[in-house]
Amino acid sequence: MLNDFVNQFWPATIDGLAFGSIYALIALGYTMVYGVLRLINFAHSEVFMIGTFGAMFVPFVLGISSPLTGIALVGIIVAMILAGMVASAGTAMALERIAYRPLRSRGASRLAALISAIGASIFLQELFALLIIPKVFNRPQQGRIPMALPRLMERTELFSIFGHSVRVDQVLVIVAAIGMMVALDALVNRTKVGRGIRATAQNPEAAVLMGVDINKIVRMTFLIGGGMAGVAGALYLISYENTNYFIGFLFGIKAFTAAVLGGIGNLRGALVGGITLGLVENYGAIFFGSDWKHVISFSILVLVLMFRPTGILGESLQQARA
């Protein structure tokens, strides 16, 4: 078993970094909304799912069925990422407007918001399974069958580490995800919008007295978190080449685990938690088999909530920052 771990260490590490980057991007939506509203947006998993279909729409419309190279490949990747961002960000803002804002304006309990989130999640799943996939993607009676993306880029080796190849798609996912997270960190810490988000997360009442438009900040929070989930959806689709109406369920739970693991309410904690979760579940799969990956992830969630609910970075939930 130890020999298996040594032999598979680098491939598992690269795969873990790629999956962990996707978890981290999705986790940003959970942690930002929690930081501002103290609300767990469980419909965020469907925001990711819609991002994958938004990205899928681009090659579907263009009729691409074979690998691309050069400028054409770069153009289609950028277009898919932008389409995923627009689809997910629009969905997130619609959720905020329809599912959450009416409850906030009435001073409803967090339990009511949680129930609303679960209902919105189920609604979006069934909407895609029964209407969007059959009609938009021309798949009658096949809305619940996974959709495959035609290969857009060859899985060529970019470089190797100790004799183990690292593919270009894996590097794309890791580099793009880290780049988006760095850009988001700069936005939150160095811009006027970011100051508004941090002020609202710290003390909403004081933020209002200082002239911060809370509704605008909440909209921006959902917009940004949804956009990050859209990038994650596009990167996942490009690398793993399939999606379905139910794909958000597992990714959503794992991203929530990553947010809790890193310290929910903390942007950098989402990055740390996502990467850590991706690595741990891949290393665990070496010892226990790939069938146990989900068990490992959910066990981590339970253990963190039991023994260190503040997460790796140690920031308390009551003092979390967006």
Amino acid at 118: I
**Residue spans of the chain under pLDDT 50:** 316-322
How far apart CA 126 and CA 172 sit, in angstroms, is 32
Residue with tokens 């209002």: 208
What is the DSSP-derived secondary structure letter of residue 166? E
201 with 321: CB under 8 angstroms? yes
292-301 pLDDT, tens digit per residue, is 888 988 898 8
Task: Calculate what percentage of the chain has a pLDDT beyond 70.
Answer: 97
Q: Any idea where the domains of the chain sit in the sequence?
A: 9-141+148-248
What per-residue confidence (pLDDT) applies to 322? 43
Alpha-carbon span 39 to 79, nearest angstrom: 32
CB 238 within 8 A of CB 80: yes
Instruction: Give CA–CA dist 295/312, Å, rounded.
Output: 20
Q: How many CB atoms lie within 10 A of CB 186?
A: 11
Residue 74: per-residue pLDDT: 94
**What pTM does this model have?**
0.93
DSSP conformation letters of 274-307: HHHHHHHHHHHHHHH-GGGHHHHHHHHHHHHHHH
Do 225 and 259 touch, CB atoms closer than 8 A?
Answer: no
Cβ pair 266, 320 in contact under 8 A: yes
| Helix, strand, coil percentages in the chain from 3-state DSSP, rounded to 5 | 75, 5, 20
Q: Please check whether residue 83 is in contact with residue 54, taking contact to mean a CB–CB distance below 8 angstroms.
A: yes
User: Which residue shows structure tokens 């069958």?
Assistant: 145
pLDDT per residue over 90-145, tens digit each? 999 999 999 999 998 898 888 899 999 999 999 999 999 999 999 999 998 889 99
